[in-house]
Amino acid sequence: MRHRTGARIAISSLLLVGAWASASLTSTAGAAPAPSAPPASAGMLTALQNDFGLTASQARERLASEKTAIRVDRAAQRAAGSAYAGSWYDADTEKLTVATTSAGRTDALRATGATVRVVRHSAKELDAAKARIDALSAPKGVSSWHVAPRSNKIVVNVVAAQKDDNDVQRFVERARQSGPVQVETVAKAPGTFAAGTVGGDPYYTGNVRCSIGFSVHGGFVTAGHCGQAGAAVRGWDNSNIGNFQGSSFPDNDYAYVSVGNGWWTVPVVLGWGTVSDQLVRGSAEAPIGASICRSGSTTHWHCGNVLAKNETVNYSQGAVHQMTKTSVCAEGGDSGGSFISGDQAQGVTSGGWGNCSSGGETWYQPINEILNRYGLTLHTA
């Protein structure tokens, strides 16, 4: 990053929570171990209290139980083997539920600390059915679709005002032929969150403003729809940061930008004054139901819950696969910004619907897929 004049510092690689430190370590591409340090700064605890209506002790307890849920889910997947059918976290009970197709695995799964539910379809079977739906051409009235562990089905979301459209009905009928499907309605279709050039702490490519994601060694990751490979990237001061080294959109929504020209990377995300800046310590994946927070150059810091994983989002530019859906709001210019749970990187903002005045939903591209795709190493503390 480059230093700003005055009190502020331009963080040229990320955008979310955090606290500064002088030393840093590296982590390998892919999932990192759950953190052993305290799960959040005082600022993050305050933000969770504000967004979820929790007391300080309840916020600490929730983050601690979610950290435990990550470890339990890993152990449960090993115990369930091919019978694993997904999992979800319940904030009220502070428990992780693991679904399995084998009643004979329940004792072993309970031994991991999980609540167990026996279901008909395995995660592998549902993922295969979803892949068959991914191969279909979706009309604009179909918003997205994902595997839902709670219902043990594939949820197909359609825009309420277009649910009776003939093309939508044909898509739903064909989807049902692919596997167990339930249809739900949503208020609006999703869109990406890029924006024209305005002030703030963004990065720019052409006249498009997006938000920087997580630091990796040699650059940062962000949303693919913000720029194509080779495009030049400018920082908040209009100086050159680097170039898009790789970009994929649609199908995926991720990109890798090199950093140079006096800029450097740091393992932090910005709290924008709402919370303190926090170090990134890894990329352990949070379960469905866990709390998660997002920051971007337009709407700054907001929190919500993980609603679904491996969802296919049907943008007007084309479908994007393997996305995670959240109840966090976002607006134009927030694209590419960081999603974080505790001190664990989760993904980069892609798109959604709604805004931060009336609410909405937002999807992110999971960070570990991006790291693995480009062979990158997350910059961690």
Structural contact between residues 182 and 155, judged by C-beta atoms closer than 8 angstroms: yes
- Identify the residue whose tokens are 């959604």: 352
The residues, any chain, with a CB within 8 Å of residue 177's CB and separated by 6 or more, are none
- Identify the residue whose tokens are 């430190």: 21
- Cα–Cα distance for residue pair 36/24, rounded to 1 Å: 15
Q: Which of 225, 300, 302, 379 is catalytic?
A: 225
> In the annotation, is 151 catalytic?
no
DSSP string, 76-127: HHHHHGGGEEEEEEETTTTEEEEEES-GGGHHHHHTTT-EEEE-SS-HHHHH
- Cα–Cα distance for residue pair 346/284, rounded to 1 Å: 7
- Give the 3-state secondary structure of residue 164: coil
For 89, counting Cβ atoms within 10 Å of its Cβ (0-12 exposed, 13-18 middle, 19+ buried), the class is buried
- Cα–Cα distance for residue pair 244/242, rounded to 1 Å: 7
**Eight-state DSSP code of residue 18:** B
- Per-residue tokens: 335: 């694209």
> In the annotation, is 343 catalytic?
no
Q: Which of 327, 335, 338, 341 is catalytic?
A: 335
Q: Which residue pairs from 232-237 have beta carbons closer than 8 angstroms and sit at least 24 positions apart in sequence?
A: 232/205, 233/203, 233/204, 233/205, 233/257, 234/203, 234/204, 234/205, 235/2, 235/10, 235/12, 235/203, 235/204, 235/263, 236/4, 236/10, 236/12, 236/200, 236/201, 236/202, 236/203, 237/2, 237/4, 237/10
- Per-residue tokens: 222: 């962000």
> In the annotation, is 87 catalytic?
no
For 163, counting Cβ atoms within 10 Å of its Cβ (0-12 exposed, 13-18 middle, 19+ buried), the class is middle
Specify the amino acid at residue 261: N
- Give the 3-state secondary structure of residue 42: helix
- Per-residue tokens: 94: 């502070």
Q: Which residues pair with 349 in a beta bridge?
A: 364
- Cα–Cα distance for residue pair 55/219, rounded to 1 Å: 38
| Residues recognised as catalytic | 225, 253, 335
